[in-house]
Structure 1
Amino acid sequence: MTMVKNKINRRKFLELFSTATASTAALLTGCKQKPNEQQLIEDEYKTQIEPPTDKMTYRINPNTNDKVSLLGYGMMRLPTTDGKAGRESRAPLDQEAINHLVDYAIEHGVNYFDTSPAYCQGRSEAATGIALHRHPRESYFIATKMSNFAPATFPHDESVRLFQNSLKNLQVDYLDYYLLHGIGMGGGMEVFNARFIDNGILDYLLEQRKAGKIRNLGFSYHGDIKVFDFLLENHDKYHWDFVQIEMNYLDWRHAHEINERNTNAEYLYGELLKRNIPAVIMEPLLGGRLSNIPQYIVAEMKQRNPERSAASWAFRYVGSKPNVLTALSGMTYMEHLKDNLLSYCPLKPLTDEEENFLYDIARKLVGLQTIPCNDCKYCMPCPYGLDIPGIFVYYNKCKNEGTLPQDTEDKEYAKLRRNYLLGMDRSIPKLRQANHCVGCKQCEPHCPQNIRIPDEMQKIDAQIETLKQEMLK
Structure 2
Amino acid sequence: IGMGGMDAFRARYIDNGLLDFLLKEREQGRIRNLGFSYHGDVDVFDYLLANHDKYRWDFAQIQLNYLDWEHAKETNPRNTDASYLYGKLDSFGIKAVIMEPLLGGRLAKVPEHIVSRLKGRDPLRSVASWAFRFAGSHPGVLTVLSGMTCMEHLEDNLRTYCPLVPLTDDDNRFLYDTADLMMQHPAIPCNDCKYCMPCPWGIDIPGVLLHYNKMLNEDNIPQSRQDPKYSKARRAFLVGYNRAVEPVRQADHCIGCRICVQHCPQGIDIPAELARVDNYAEKLRRGSLPG
TM-score, shorter chain, exceeding 0.5? yes
Between the aligned partners of 2:212 and 2:160, the Cα distance in structure 1 is 30
**3-state SS in 1 of match to 2:146:** strand
Residue of structure 2 equivalent to 1:346 = 163
Matched residues, percent identical? Answer: 60
Residue of structure 1 equivalent to 2:84 = 267
Offset of 1:273 from its aligned partner?
0.7
Instruction: Say whether 1:283 aligns with 2:105.
Output: no
Between the aligned partners of 1:241 and 1:462, the Cα distance in structure 2 is 48
**3-state SS in 2 of match to 1:376:** coil
Residue of structure 2 equivalent to 1:322 = 139
1:411 maps to a residue whose letter is: P
Between the aligned partners of 1:418 and 1:310, the Cα distance in structure 2 is 28
Residue of structure 2 equivalent to 1:210 = 27
Residue of structure 2 equivalent to 1:184 = 2
8 Å CA contact retained: 2:225, 2:287: no
Residue of structure 2 equivalent to 1:249 = 66
Between the aligned partners of 1:342 and 1:304, the Cα distance in structure 2 is 17
Deviations 1:70-116 (A, max 9, x none): xxxxxxxxxxxxxxxxxxxxxxxxxxxxxxxxxxxxxxxxxxxxxxx
1:400 maps to a residue whose letter is: N
Between the aligned partners of 1:446 and 1:219, the Cα distance in structure 2 is 19
Between the aligned partners of 2:60 and 2:11, the Cα distance in structure 1 is 20
Deviations 1:151-198 (A, max 9, x none): xxxxxxxxxxxxxxxxxxxxxxxxxxxxxxxx113x222222232223
Offset of 1:207 from its aligned partner?
2.2
Instruction: Say whether 1:223 aligns with 2:16.
Output: no
Higher strand residue share = 1
Residue of structure 1 equivalent to 2:266 = 449
Between the aligned partners of 1:383 and 1:192, the Cα distance in structure 2 is 29
Between the aligned partners of 1:444 and 1:242, the Cα distance in structure 2 is 29
Between the aligned partners of 2:9 and 2:238, the Cα distance in structure 1 is 42
Instruction: Say whether 1:398 aligns with 2:184.
Output: no
Offset of 1:414 from its aligned partner?
2.3
Structure 2 residue aligned with 1:464, among 281, 284, 289?
281
Offset of 1:199 from its aligned partner?
2.7
The 5 Å alignment of 1:65-144 reads none
Deviations 1:282-332 (A, max 9, x none): 111111111111222112222221110011111111111112111111123
Runs of 4+, deviation exceeding 3 Å: none
Larger radius of gyration, structure 1 or 2? 1
Instruction: Say whether 1:435 aligns with 2:238.
Output: no
Gaps of 5+ in 2: none
Offset of 1:437 from its aligned partner?
1.4
Deviations 1:344-396 (A, max 9, x none): 11111111111111111101111101111111111111122111111111000
Residue of structure 2 equivalent to 1:3 = none
8 Å CA contact retained: 1:405, 1:420: no
Instruction: Say whether 1:388 aligns with 2:205.
Output: yes
RMSD of Structure 2 on Structure 1 (CA) = 1.4
Offset of 1:435 from its aligned partner?
1.1
Instruction: Say whether 1:420 aligns with 2:273.
Output: no
Normalised TM-score (structure 1)? 0.59
Deviations 1:113-139 (A, max 9, x none): xxxxxxxxxxxxxxxxxxxxxxxxxxx
